[in-house]
């Protein structure tokens, strides 16, 4: 038995040491992710890679879109090949891509990839959290491709059609078709680069938030065992500290993303609702506009959904602690033991009866933090009423979550943002198409 215990401890320590490394090497758990960053030319781990990264950003993020707009505007083309919304599309994509690139560069340069993704803190977590986070890291690249590939495929079809049918009407050097092919490839590379950088930062933020959700779910299990109040409090303080770090690091990026995406969407709405724009609203001239809007709104949706979800999970801890306190208080009255037992039997009977009809709808939304299950008595058998009450009061007055300069990103904040933007949309429509 002692030998088995020693072996188990050795395996556990070796598993933890994997995540304790501060200096990355060529074959660590971030190897595939670093390879992807190098392939996208956003890796700045050395001087020459940093120079290459900035060169690619200036080329595909600024120069190619500007040349495409001013040289290939094709004002003399027929109605199907004109691009009346190209300026807004290029400015919108380039501005958000520039913001994403600058923020990603700052994150990696200041904190390092391992520290930014909190891999240096995983050795303190449970095996469930470590495995879940590593699996989500591997899945993040698939998620990134899921967002980028459909939009890039649609843009490729449009660009190939546009250059193939109007190659002779655009400026060229030497061979017409070679010039058109080179211009088409450069524009497609620029579109792919910008959309990938935008979604990459959004997916990384989602990944970081997913780690905190795993930690909160693991934290919820402390209420199901006989834990002392001090350990529960210290673990919650550690989670709050990490949420505050994430908020401080990403608040500028989230805020500016919201401002830029909102401004771009209002600009697109303004130019498409003018009376002179009706003849330009078809798939040939407004196709890129739709793809640009889908890209920007999807990226913003990933950010806001991830922040709101983690805030909801963090605030659900208060409900869980209150339920834990109530169950412990009820069990503490020995004189009413029989009544409590009958009450529990009634609760279980009602739960069983409702389970036949609500099981399919309710169970999918329940987890360790937000559920309707009673807490077993052994989880609070040694904790006094005063300690439990103090802990619940602490949770009620110290709600954790993602914040932006003091404003918590929860569902109420999203409702406020939605109503403000809806009011602006209705005002803008009233000025353009006369909706009142």
pLDDT digits (tens, 9 = 90+) for 54-68: 999 999 999 999 888
Instruction: Please compute the mean of the pLDDT values over residues 140-165 and round it to a whole number.
Output: 88
Which of the residue ranges 33-47, 183-197, 278-292, 353-367 would you say has the lowest mean pLDDT? Answer: 353-367
Q: Where in the chain are the domains? A: 7-17+26-324+400-432
pLDDT computed for residue 18 by the predictor: 47
* Residue 199, strand partner residues: none
Answer yes or no: are the C-beta atoms of 53 and 41 closer than 8 Å. yes
Q: How far apart are CA 89 and CA 65, in angstroms?
A: 10
* Residue entry with tokens 């300026």: 87
Name the nearest CA neighbour of 403 among 301, 296, 299, 310.
310
Tokens for 162?
A: 């546009």
Mean pLDDT across the stretch 164-182? 71
CA angle (337 as vertex; 334, 342 as ends), nearest 5: 165
Q: Which of 186-195, 248-257, 376-385 has the lowest mean pLDDT?
A: 376-385
> pLDDT of 82-98, one tens digit each?
777 788 888 999 999 99
Per-residue pLDDT of 340-399, as tens digits, reads 454 454 345 444 444 444 444 445 455 656 665 655 554 455 567 788 888 888 888 887
How far apart are the C-alpha atoms of 247 and 254, rounded to whole Å?
Answer: 9
242 by Cβ neighbours in 10 Å (0-12 / 13-18 / 19+) ranks as: middle
The pLDDT of residue 335 is: 36
The rounded percent of the chain whose pLDDT value lies above 90 is: 19
Mean pLDDT of 283-299: 84
* pTM (global) more than 0.85: no
Q: Where do we find the tokens 């933090």?
A: 369
Residue with tokens 């843009």: 155
Pick the most confident of 8-22, 40-54, 288-302. Answer: 288-302
Where residue 408 falls among pLDDT bands split at 50, 70, 90?
confident
Residue 378 CB neighbour total at 10 angstroms: 10
């Amino acid at each position: 038995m002692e030998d088995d215990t020693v072996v188990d401890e050795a395996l556990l320590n070796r598993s933890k040491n994997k995540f304790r490394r501060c200096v990355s090497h060529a074959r660590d758990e971030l190897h595939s992710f670093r390879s992807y960053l190098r392939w996208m030319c956003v890796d700045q781990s050395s001087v020459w890679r940093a120079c290459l990264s900035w060169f690619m950003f200036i080329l595909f993020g600024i120069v190619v879109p500007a040349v495409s707009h001013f040289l290939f505007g094709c004002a003399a083309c027929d109605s199907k090949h004109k691009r009346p919304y190209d300026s807004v599309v290029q400015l919108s994509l380039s501005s958000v891509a520039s913001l994403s690139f600058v923020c990603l560069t700052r994150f990696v340069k200041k904190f390092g990839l391992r520290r930014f993704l909190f891999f240096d803190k995983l050795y303190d977590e449970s095996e469930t959290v470590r495995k879940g986070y590593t699996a989500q890291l591997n899945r993040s690249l698939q998620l990134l491709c899921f967002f980028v590939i459909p939009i890039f495929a649609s843009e490729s079809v449009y660009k190939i059609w546009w250059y193939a049918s109007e190659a002779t009407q655009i400026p060229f050097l030497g061979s017409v078709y070679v010039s058109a092919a080179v211009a088409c490839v450069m524009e497609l590379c620029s579109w792919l680069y910008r959309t990938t950088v935008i979604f990459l930062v959004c997916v990384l933020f989602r990944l970081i938030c997913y780690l905190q959700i795993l930690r909160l779910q693991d934290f919820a299990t402390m209420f199901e065992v006989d834990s002392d109040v001090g350990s529960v409090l210290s673990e919650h303080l550690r989670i709050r500290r990490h949420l505050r770090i994430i908020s401080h690091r990403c608040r500028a990026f989230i805020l500016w993303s919201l401002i830029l995406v909102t401004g771009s969407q209002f600009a697109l709405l303004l130019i498409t609702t003018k009376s002179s724009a009706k003849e330009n609203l078809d798939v040939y001239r407004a196709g890129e506009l739709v793809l640009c809007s889908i890209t920007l709104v999807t990226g913003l949706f990933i950010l806001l959904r991830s922040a709101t979800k983690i805030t909801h999970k963090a605030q659900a801890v208060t409900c869980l602690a209150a339920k834990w306190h109530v169950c412990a208080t009820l069990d503490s009255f020995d004189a009413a033991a029989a009544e409590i037992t009958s009450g529990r039997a009634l609760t279980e009977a009602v739960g069983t009866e409702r389970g036949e009809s609500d099981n399919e709808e309710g169970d999918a939304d329940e987890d360790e933090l937000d559920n309707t299950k009673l807490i077993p008595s052994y989880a609070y058998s040694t904790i006094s009423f005063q300690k439990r009450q103090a802990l619940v009061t602490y949770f009620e007055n110290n709600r954790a979550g993602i914040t932006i300069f003091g404003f918590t990103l929860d569902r109420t904040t999203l409702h406020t943002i939605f109503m403000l933007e809806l009011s602006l949309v209705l005002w803008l429509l009233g000025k353009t198409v006369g909706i009142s």
